[in-house]
Amino acid sequence: MNIFSRFSTMIKSNINDLISRAENPEKMLNQIIIDMRDQLAKAKREVAGAIADERKLQRQLADSKKEKQAWEKRAMLAVQQGRDDLAKQALLRQQEHAEQAAALEQTWQAQAAETEKLKGSLRQLNDKIEEAKRKRNLLIAKQKRAQAQRRIHETMSGLSDTSAFEAFNRMAEKIDEEERRNLAQAEVNEALTGDTLETEFVRLEAGSDASDVDDKLLALKAKMGLIAAPEAEAPKQLGAGSGTSDAGDADDAGKADGKDGGSSEPPPIRDAELIEEFEKLEQGGGGS
């Protein structure tokens, strides 16, 4: 019996046909598994038929053996009754069934051995299908990973095109240029109007900030014990005074604020320079 070789040929033919027409690997693998299951079902039916034939031969063998024994008993009965003629006929029948039983025995043994082989082949086919199902899951996972890698590669290939980045940089430069133009226009408008009131207030606010810094410096020195703590000043009362005293008060206030006439505040120190100066101070303090 060449059942499984025939099924193997059919499966290979179907798989090769599916692979040649493959568009979606996942669908094709699923279809191959379905075809394998269909072939397995047909193989099971064929094996079931072979087992049924083997059972039939076994039953016929058992019947022939029973008939052989029955005719042998009849021959013995005829001899006991003195009927040698009947005994001879019974022995002839017994011989026929014995020969038939021997032939059936040989056929049944061969059929039983073939049936066991078919059962083993059926189990192997089932195991291969289960293995194919497991491999299908791995192949599908690989295929999905390959698709993801291809999409990533396509995306990165698209990013290698610098046209989008160049357009972005041009737009940023355009916005910066517009902002510079607006600032320049505002500066021109302020110069043309001649209104310096807002500028004066800005200067006053800057001087107030400088005064706050001076006060904080004095407070820090007092806290460190370098100078005496300043006494609380009594509130001043307004009174009629001469222009000279007013001028003197103005001079004293100017001196307290650390200003000298029309001199301007020193330019602010950059963070990098300020940190460098502090590092020099720390190194000098560590060496002392």
The candidate with the shortest Cα–Cα distance to 87, out of 96, 76, 98, is 76
Instruction: Please choose, from the candidates 115, 120, 121, 113, the residue with its C-alpha nearest in 3D space to the C-alpha of residue 5.
Output: 121
Assess whether pLDDT exceeds 60 at residue 233.
no
The secondary element (H helix, E strand) that includes residue 151 is helix 84-159
d(CA 204, CA 224): 30
Coil, strand, or helix at residue 233? coil
Please spell the DSSP secondary structure of 3-64, one letter per residue: HHHHHHHHHHHHHHHHHHT-S-HHHHHHHHHHHHHHHHHHHHHHHHHHHHHHHHHHHHHHHH
Which carries the bigger pLDDT value, residue 2 or residue 240? 2
Please name the residue that has the structure tokens 């698709």: 147
What confidence score (pLDDT) does residue 69 get? Answer: 92
**In terms of pLDDT, which residue wins out, 46 or 19?**
46
248 confidence band (pLDDT: 50, 70, 90): very low
Residue 145 pLDDT more than 80? yes
Q: What is the pTM of this model?
A: 0.42
Tell me which of 198 and 57 has the higher pLDDT: 57
Q: Rounded distance, CA 152 to CA 146, Å?
A: 10
Token readout for 96 is 């026929």
| CA distances from residue 202 to 188, 213, 215, 266, 275 in whole angstroms, order as listed | 18, 17, 20, 17, 28
pLDDT single digits (tens) 75-100:
899 888 888 888 899 899 999 999 99
Residue 125 near residue 4 (C-beta atoms within 8 A): yes
Residue 257 has pLDDT above 70, yes or no: no
- Contact call for residues 70 and 90 (beta carbons, < 8 A): no
Cβ burial 164-182 (10 Å sphere, 16+ → b, else e)? eeeeeeeeeeeeeeeeeee
pLDDT at 38 over 60: yes
DSSP state letters, 66-118: HHHHHHHHHHHHHHHTT-HHHHHHHHHHHHHHHHHHHHHHHHHHHHHHHHHHH
Averaged pLDDT, 184-208: 68
CA atoms of 254 and 212, how far apart (whole Å):
14
Most confident of 90-104, 203-217, 244-258: 90-104
Instruction: Report residue 268 as tokens.
Output: 């602010």
Percent of the chain with pLDDT strictly greater than 70:
66
Confidence of residue 62 (pLDDT cuts 50, 70, 90): very high
